[in-house]
């Protein structure tokens, strides 16, 4: 019952043009797909991204997923071989970064940026 009322109000607002002047109207939504990350890391990665820091392994992981999609769609054997070579190189790079992450301490400037971002968020909420 409640969802019908909400849907009715939304439809009325659409008919009145209430949503037409919103920022980004008519543009596709930017949806962050973090489904490839373990659930316990998603919040941390989102905080990193919002603070202006995107870890290189996350960028490489995105590229690997894109290459997987391309390989599934690619029909040219020559192009598939090229993509596989590129993907293997990226995968090696990704694995080296992950290994380095497991053994390296977290840099101090990283903690400073997170603290600054969290402080800014608290101040804007007040």
pLDDT, one tens digit per residue, over 43-57 is 888 888 788 777 777
CA distance 120 to 20: 31
pLDDT of 8 reads: 92
**Three-state secondary-structure class, residue 37:** coil
Contact predicate 71/14, CB 8 Å: no
Contact predicate 60/97, CB 8 Å: yes
Place of tokens 């996350």: 58
- What's the pTM value of the predicted model, to 2 decimals? 0.43
CA distance 49 to 24: 21
pLDDT of 116 reads: 82
pLDDT tens for 54-113 read 777 778 888 899 999 999 998 889 999 999 999 999 999 988 888 877 776 667 777 788
Confidence band for 34, pLDDT divided at 50, 70 and 90: confident
- 18 φ/ψ angles, rounded to the nearest 5 degrees: -65, -25
| Tokens found for residue 20 | 């037409």
């Amino acid at each position: 019952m409640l969802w019908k009322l909400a849907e009715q109000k939304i439809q009325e607002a659409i008919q009145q043009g209430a949503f037409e002047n919103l920022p980004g109207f008519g543009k596709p939504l930017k949806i962050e797909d973090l489904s490839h990350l373990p659930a316990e890391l998603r919040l941390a990665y989102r905080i990193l991204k919002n603070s202006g820091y995107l870890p290189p392994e996350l960028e490489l992981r995105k590229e690997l997923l894109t290459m997987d999609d391309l390989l599934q769609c690619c029909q040219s054997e020559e192009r598939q071989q090229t993509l596989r070579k590129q993907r293997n190189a990226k995968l090696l790079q990704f694995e080296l970064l992950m290994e380095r992450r497991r053994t390296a301490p977290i840099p101090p400037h990283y903690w400073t940026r997170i603290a600054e971002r969290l402080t800014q968020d608290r101040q804007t909420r007040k």
